[in-house]
Structures are given as C-alpha cells and as structure tokens.
Structure 1
Amino acid sequence: MKLSQGVEWGLHCTALVAQAPDGIAVSRRLLSEHYGLPEAYLAKHLQALVRAGVLTATPGPRGGFRLARPDEQITALEILEAIEGTAPAFLCQEIRQRGTGAVPPEDCTRPCGVSVVMAKADEAWRGSLASVTVADLVALVPSHTRKRNRARLTGEPTGDR
C-alpha cells in the first residue's frame, strides 16, 4: 500500500498546529516554510482537514489554522481519512469467478479468503491509527524541538542561525 505524501504532510502539520499556544492561528505560509512544502499544494490538504473537522481556518492577516478539537480528541485515522478518504485499502475484484478456473456464482455466497484476510488487516491497521491521537504525536517530538517550534509559532527568537 502506498499513501499519498499528503498524509505525512497532514499528520506533521496538524501536530505542529497542536504545538501552538492557545489563541495562536498558524498560517499556511508558516506551515509550508517550516516543512519546505509547496504552499499551493499544501493548501489542498489543509482544506481537506478543515472539511473533516480536524482543523478550523480563520481568514485574514492574523488568520490561519487551529485545531478544531483538543489534540487528544483527534486521531491519526481521522487525518488519514481526511486526505485519502474512507474506502478500504483493498477492494476484492472477485477474480475467483473469472478465467478457466472460475468458481460458479452459487459457490461464492461468502467473501473469499483473500478478501477476509485483507479486511481484517485493514481493520487492524485502522484500529491502530484510531488509537493514536495528535497529542500522542506531539509527545513523540523531542522537547527541545517542541520548544523551538513554539518559539517559531509565536515569533520569538529561536536561536537558529
């Protein structure tokens, strides 16, 4: 399975927005510069996160993005689904009913074994992502990096060259 780069961008950007002090909106420009991403393309992903209720957007010169809910209430699965959609990763094409080895339709009243295995794997994967919150992602960021990020988000000097 290959996910679009938008999933990585969405997870990182949401975690960065979560590091902003209360009341601070993080601009699209700051997000794109922080990660070296093309602003116009990032905008599409940020809007998907807004539509999904992960982020809120405020227009204007002091506008930007904030979390729509507390970071412990937003999951990695919500971000993935905002970017990629909710369709399962695997779609059975029922090839067991094709070709020279075709199984008759009356013998295909249940999903095939491949479909069952892939559905269970998809469920486990989504369950794992649903158990990880944005707060968990932020906690994985080293404390010195969180401190630097917070300074950048508030416009304070960071000590960077």
Structure 2
Amino acid sequence: MSEGVEWGLHCCLVLAWLDDLAPLPVGRLAEVFDLPPEYLKKQLQPLAKAGILVSERGARGGYRLGRDPEAITLMDVVTAIEGGTDPFQCTEIRQRGAGQTGAPAEFAHPCGISMAMRKAELAWRRELASQTLAELIANTPDTAERRTRRFIERTATA
C-alpha cells in the first residue's frame, strides 16, 4: 500500500476538523504534514474523483470533504487511491519448475497459499469498510485537532 493512503486519510481528518473554514488549498494541507504539495495533489485527485473530497477551483479554492465523515470508510479512501486491485497476486509459480511435470488435476483448485491470502484480504477489506472517518475522529485526541486548527490559523495570517 502506498504512502498516499496514509496521506489521504490524514488530509480527510484535517478537512473534517476544519469543515467550518473555507476549502483548504493543497499547499496548506501539505504544510500541515510537511509534504510535497505536487505529490500530495496527485494523492488527493482520486479522492475528489471518488466524491470523498470536493475540489473547488479559483483563488479561494481548495479541498473540502465531499461527504459526511460518517459516510466515508477507510476502505473508500484505500480504494480511491490504490484502485481495486488485490494486494496479493497469485502467479501460479507452483506450476513452474518442478511443478511442470504435475498432473493437471493437481492444479484444478487454488493452492492453500492463495486461499489463505484471499481470506486475509477479505477480512482486511471488511475491517476497513466497517470503520468510518467519523470513528477515526472520535478516537483521535482533541489536542491533535486544536493543534492543527492553530497551525492553519497561524499560517493564514503569516
């Protein structure tokens, strides 16, 4: 999983905390976490395309949440940034090398490794789909929100 998922989730948290402010430009979001703005922008664009964020153009433009935090799951963010590809890709190496002489019936069913990985992936997806941005907010110390708000307000006047 790319670091873009972490970046996207943190930015969604910040935008939820600061929903009473104007949209935040990508440069301001990048400053909150000391990230490169152009690379962060590339991570936020798929979130906007998925409707998780809204991108507003213009001098006062920027990003804001596109849905209520209760309606955004961690899996929504992961899927938007990473796409729907499976993290484990079985390439059937068991059929190469020594496996080349195996009978076709031996390979009629997925191998135990592939089945175990699929089972783990399904559990991972279910867990991420069951957690919302609102739950992350509820479990994040209030000090993080206050610190972020002070940072944004302070750098707006600097």
Amino acid paired to 1:37: L
Aligned to 1:113: 112
* Pairing partner for 1:29 from 27, 30, 35: 27
Q: Which runs of 5+ in 1 are unaligned?
A: none
CA contact under 8 A between 1:75 and 1:134: conserved in structure 2? Answer: yes
**More displaced, 143-152 or 24-33?**
143-152
Normalising by structure 1, report the TM-score. 0.87
Aligned to 1:104: 103
Aligned to 2:3: 5
Post-superposition offset of 1:23: 5.8
CA contact under 8 A between 2:74 and 2:133: conserved in structure 1? Answer: yes
Superposed structure 1 runs of 4+ greater than 3 Å apart: 150-153
**CA offsets 1:61-120 (integer angstroms, 9 cap, x no match):** 111111111001101111111111111111111122111233333332221111100000
Distance 2:117 2:143 in 1: 41
SS of 1:56's equivalent in the other structure is strand
**CA offsets 1:129-159 (integer angstroms, 9 cap, x no match):** 1111111122222112212333445x3x59x
Percent sequence identity over matched residues? Answer: 45
CA contact under 8 A between 2:19 and 2:64: conserved in structure 1? Answer: no
Structure with a larger share of its residues in helix? 2
Aligned to 2:14: 16
Aligned to 2:124: 125
* Pairing partner for 1:38 from 36, 42, 47: 36
Aligned residues: 154
Aligned to 1:94: 92
CA contact under 8 A between 1:97 and 1:105: conserved in structure 2? Answer: no
**More displaced, 42-51 or 96-105?**
96-105
SS of 1:149's equivalent in the other structure is helix
